[in-house]
Amino acid sequence: MSEKVLMCGNEAVAEAAIQAGLDAFFGYPITPQNEIPEYMSRRMPEEGRVFVQSESEIAAINMVYGAAATGARAMTSSSSPGISLKQEGISYLAGSQLPAVIVNMMRGGPGLGNIEPSQSDYFQATRGGGHGDYYHIALAGNSVQEMADLMYDAFDLADKYRGPVMVIGDGILAQMIEPVDVFAKKRPPIQTDKSWALGNLKDRSPNIVNSLFLGDNVLENHNLRLQAKYQIIRDTEVRFEATDTEDADLIVVAYGIASRIASSAIRKARKKGLKVGLFRPITLWPFPAKPIAALAGQGRKFLAVELSYGQMVEDVRLAVNGASPVDFYGRAGGSVPTVEAVLEKIEENLK
């Protein structure tokens, strides 16, 4: 393992992507993720790989689509308004079953919103986001180190399941500088069958990369294959971290930066003798519904904390399915919940 260095989340994500075997990066400026394309513009040519600053987020995701169609590891990054623009391409990637990685460093919305940290794109990230019946894996770290680590997983999962994978951070994780070893999780890319890729047409019939399916039941059958794939992902790729949940009277559910604020509040609550635990989803989709369901009941309460006005809490409620009360605390529009406010909410729930 190499030594830790100080890097901001954006740069760590970029370098980890390069180490994970990224062949081509396409991006467009938007705050707070600008350090990713800036870093890539410097590093990708050094590695003899592709960097293009596109004319728009729409073009960027379609460049990703083109590169991915040839079997290359391709990626783009943006922040909330830009991710909205990419949804067309993400839907096509899902439909055409092309592996790709998209990073969303979320900022305040709706509309142009602001450039402050936010977690208000949860619905978009976990419900497909574009048109059609699809999902994509959504990975959320809560430190610069974990954001970097997840890039290796993101590319491997994209290849393994032939589809887009989103890595989700926010303005804080993007801009925050922490000690990080971007090589910590470095490993050779998983080897998958890429016989579907375009180019080098020899001794085979032509490959078609396509999301158009005409004819009776043809599209339905395609969708059923996609749904079967999504079920495998739900069954096998759920990731989370549960801390002090076993004896907890209240479990705080939070991901990304909100989980760090929550863990500060939980530490203070524990000092006051309150039995509080933290459940941190790492895969936002597939959501860790079963592990949460297993913790529900037994008189236990849940509190979702988000930088939104209540998005992930819906998944918590679906998982708990009435077995426990689920409360919510969140701030958004660029505002960040304070430790004190979360603590207050914890105490209110345990009165």
Partner 1 sequence: MTNSFQEKITIAGFGGQGIMLLGKLLAQTAMKNNLNVTYMPAYGAEVRGGTANCMVCLGTDPIANPMVINPDTLIVLNKASFSKFLPKLKSGGKIIVNTSKIDNAIDRDDIEVIAAPIDDIAIALDSPKSANMVALGIFLQSHSFLSPQMACDCLCDVLAKRYHSMLQVNADAILKGAQSIQ
Partner 2 sequence: MSTLVYEKPESLYDRKTHYCPGCGHGVAHRLIAETIDELDIRHKTIGIAPVGCSVLAYNYLNIDMVEVAHGRAPAVATGMKRVKPDHIIFAYQGDGDLASIGCAEIMHAAHRGEDITVIFVNNAIYGMTGGQMAPTTMVGQIASTCPNGRDPLKEGYPMQMAEILSIMPGATYIERCAITDPANIRKTKKAIKHAFQRQLDGENGFNMVEILSPCPTYWRMSPVDAKKHITEQMTKTFPLGKLKG
Binding site for partner 2 (CB under 8 A): 23-24, 26, 50, 52, 54-56, 58-60, 62-70, 72, 74, 88-89, 92, 96, 198-202, 206-212
Tell which one of 183, 219, 264, 291 touches partner 1 (CB under 8 A): 264
Out of partner 1, partner 2, none, what residue 177 binds, judged by CB under 5 to 8 A for its kind, is partner 1
Binding partner selected for residue 264 from partner 1, partner 2, none, CB under the kind-specific 5 to 8 Å limit: partner 1
Partner whose binding site includes residue 84, from partner 2, partner 1, none (CB under 5 to 8 Å by kind): none
Rounded to a whole number of angstroms, the distance between the first and last alpha carbons of the chain is 47
Peptide bond into 32 cis (omega under 30): yes
Does residue 263 touch partner 1 according to CB under 8 A? Answer: yes
Judge contact between 166 and 134, C-beta under 8 A: no
C-alpha dihedral, 120 to 126 to 127 to 130, nearest 10°: 80
Q: Is the peptide bond before 206 cis (omega within 30 degrees of 0)?
A: no
List the structure tokens of 155.
């590319």
Q: How far apart are CA 36 and CA 34, in angstroms?
A: 5
Residues 289-348, interacting with partner 1 (CB under 8 A): 336, 338-339
Least Å from the CB of residue 302 to partner 1: 20
Asked if 215 and 258 touch (Cβ cutoff 8 Å), the reply is: no
Print the binding letters for residues 200-239 with partner 1: x by CB under 8 A, - otherwise: ----------------------------------------
Of positions 88, 178, 237, 241, contacts partner 1 by CB under 8 A: 178
Contacts of 131 (CB under 8 A, 6+ apart): 87, 91
Least distance in angstroms from the C-beta of 157 to partner 2: 21
Least Å distance, CB 131 to partner 2, is: 11
Burial class for 262, CB neighbours closer than 10 Å (0-12, 13-18, 19+): buried
Contact partner at residue 294 from partner 1, partner 2, none, CB < 5 to 8 Å by partner kind: none
